[in-house]
């Protein structure tokens, strides 16, 4: 390892031990800003491994800085927006050192690696593309995981390669596609609208939309819609608490029953969201949030909103409960909290095809203990000192 990289490791160690001076912090920040503009010449791991290890190391640094440098001002792990903007370069620099081949954190955890192997054996792999299609008349089909997409063509359900799933259905027939925990699937409706379903999601829709009527679907869970534009035939998404009405646009709806809020986020086009007697219109990069009987509008981080659609999890500015609800739906876990756990704010993310050990590392890095019990039950508690 060259002298420059050795120096960066020394600076990171000082940050971890809370002994870095302002000058050393500035040196680390300058290095990161320069590194960010240069090409990476050495890549000893693949992209997924880099990001997973980088995310875990970032969490360790966040936790350390939150505990030491900020403990007089706030609870452990709670960082305000100004703190975040100051600390991001140092956390990011740590992940860049990983890219250069520095096992700054993981080389000290042989025992933990053995434990992670046990966790992999216990929890297995992520499900991937999987869904069940059912009809009102009782017919039920387990969909092909290799295909990943079905389409409705003139009332008949087909895979995109042309292989039939069912016979032609009548205009009055409704169907429901349901993804399990750990599963995702894509469906193209009879009007050409394309819908990506996240894990633990249910979508109900007509085999054929009737002429001169609104195109209505019902959603429980999370889905991204690319709506086919049809003049004078609005497309409507109904959830438990609201309705989203569009003509032609692309947007995401998060309406899980276990989430405290329903979020509708707009990528492009224009939508109108209705809840009770309240109405909000959305423009690109905005989202409407329904929570506690109120409907409010705010700016949306579409990159974070749509991370799931690209096979990723984005944790930036999410608390422990938010992160673990996402993880429970993907890894098919029951998450239980034991005792009082102080509030934590997470950053970074991971790939959806990563195993659960990546998430468990993140918990430990933030001073949390956990144990895995039967029936896929994950118990989280504050670690004993």
Statement: residue 205 has pLDDT above 90: yes
Average pLDDT on 263-281 reads: 94
What is the residue whose two structure tokens read 């709670």?
A: 78
Which has the higher per-residue pLDDT, 6 or 289? 289
* Residue 73 confidence (pLDDT): 29
Could you tell me which residues are beta bridge partners of residue 186? 149, 196
* Residue 354 confidence (pLDDT): 81
Under the banding of pLDDT at 50, 70 and 90, the label for residue 115 is low
Can you give the residue ranges of every domain in the chain? 3-108, 114-125+308-382, 128-305
Name the range with the highest mean pLDDT among 56-70, 149-163, 183-197.
183-197
Q: Select the CATH number that applies to the domain covering 114-125+308-382 from these four: 1.10.10.60, 3.40.50.1820, 2.130.10.10, 3.55.50.30.
A: 3.55.50.30
Q: Taking a C-beta distance cutoff of 8 angstroms, is the pair 98, 59 a contact?
A: no
Per residue in 211-240, is it b (16+ CB within 10 Å) or e — as a string? eeeebbbebbbbbbbbbbeeeebbbbbbbe
Q: How far apart are the first and last CA of the chain?
A: 35
Q: Alpha-carbon distance 129 to 136, whole Å? A: 23
Q: Other C-beta atoms within 10 Å of 192: how many?
A: 13
Which has the higher per-residue pLDDT, 231 or 227? 227
For the entire predicted model, the pTM comes to 0.71
Q: Cα–Cα–Cα angle for 69, 72, 77, nearest 5°? A: 60
C-alpha distances (whole Å) from 249 to each of 220, 290, 330 are: 20, 20, 27
Mean pLDDT of the chain: 77
Average pLDDT on 312-320 reads: 90
Q: Pick from 275, 219, 284, 274: which is nearest to 251 by CA?
A: 284
Which has the higher per-residue pLDDT, 270 or 24? 270
Query: Do β-strands 215-226 and 202-206 pair in parallel, antiparallel, or remain unpaired?
Result: antiparallel
* Residue 105 confidence (pLDDT): 35
Q: Which percentage of the chain shows pLDDT scores above 70?
A: 69
The 3-class SS string of 261-297 reads EEEEEEEECCEEEEECCEEEEECCCEEEEEECCEEEE
* Residue 216 confidence (pLDDT): 96
Token pair recorded at residue 261? 């809020």
* Residue 59 confidence (pLDDT): 55
Q: Taking a C-beta distance cutoff of 8 angstroms, is the pair 148, 129 a contact?
A: yes
The fold of 128-305 is Jelly Rolls (2.60.120)
Under the banding of pLDDT at 50, 70 and 90, the label for residue 257 is very high
Average pLDDT on 98-105 reads: 35
Of 58-67, 199-208, 286-295, 299-308, minimum mean pLDDT range = 58-67
């Amino acid at each position: 390892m060259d002298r420059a990289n050795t120096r960066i490791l020394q600076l990171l160690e000082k940050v971890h031990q809370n002994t870095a001076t302002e000058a050393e912090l500035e040196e680390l920040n300058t290095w990161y800003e320069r590194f960010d503009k240069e090409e990476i010449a050495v890549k000893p791991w693949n992209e997924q491994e880099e990001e997973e290890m980088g995310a875990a190391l970032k969490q360790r640094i966040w936790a350390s800085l939150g505990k030491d440098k900020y403990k007089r001002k706030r609870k452990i792990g709670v960082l305000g927006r100004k703190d975040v903007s100051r600390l991001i370069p140092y956390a990011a620099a740590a992940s860049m050192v990983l890219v250069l081949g520095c096992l700054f954190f993981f080389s000290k955890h042989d025992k933990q690696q053995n434990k992670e192997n046990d966790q992999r054996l216990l929890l297995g792999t992520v499900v991937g593309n999987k869904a069940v299609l059912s009809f009102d008349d009782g017919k039920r089909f387990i969909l092909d995981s290799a295909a990943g997409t079905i389409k409705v063509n003139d009332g008949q359900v087909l895979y995109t390669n042309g292989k039939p799933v069912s016979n032609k259905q009548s205009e009055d027939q409704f169907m429901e596609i349901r993804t399990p925990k750990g599963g995702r699937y894509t469906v193209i409706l009879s009007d050409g609208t394309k819908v990506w379903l996240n894990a633990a999601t249910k979508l109900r829709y007509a085999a054929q939309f009737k002429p001169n009527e609104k195109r209505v679907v019902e959603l429980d869970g999370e889905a991204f819609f690319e709506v086919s534009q049809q003049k004078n035939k609005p497309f409507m998404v109904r959830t438990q608490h609201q309705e989203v009405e569009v003509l032609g646009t692309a947007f995401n709806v998060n309406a899980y029953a276990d989430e405290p809020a329903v979020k509708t986020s707009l990528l492009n086009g224009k939508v109108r969201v209705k809840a009770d007697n309240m109405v909000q219109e959305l423009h690109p990069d905005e989202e409407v949030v329904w929570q506690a009987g109120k409907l409010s509008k705010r700016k949306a981080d579409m990159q974070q909103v749509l991370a799931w659609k690209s096979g990723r999890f984005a944790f930036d500015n999410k608390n422990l409960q938010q992160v673990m609800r996402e993880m429970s739906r993907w890894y098919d876990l029951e998450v239980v909290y034991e005792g009082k756990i102080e509030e934590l704010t997470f950053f970074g993310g991971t790939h959806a095809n990563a195993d659960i050990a990546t998430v468990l590392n993140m918990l430990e890095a933030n001073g949390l203990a956990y144990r895995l019990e039967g029936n896929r039950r994950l118990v989280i508690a504050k670690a004993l000192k």
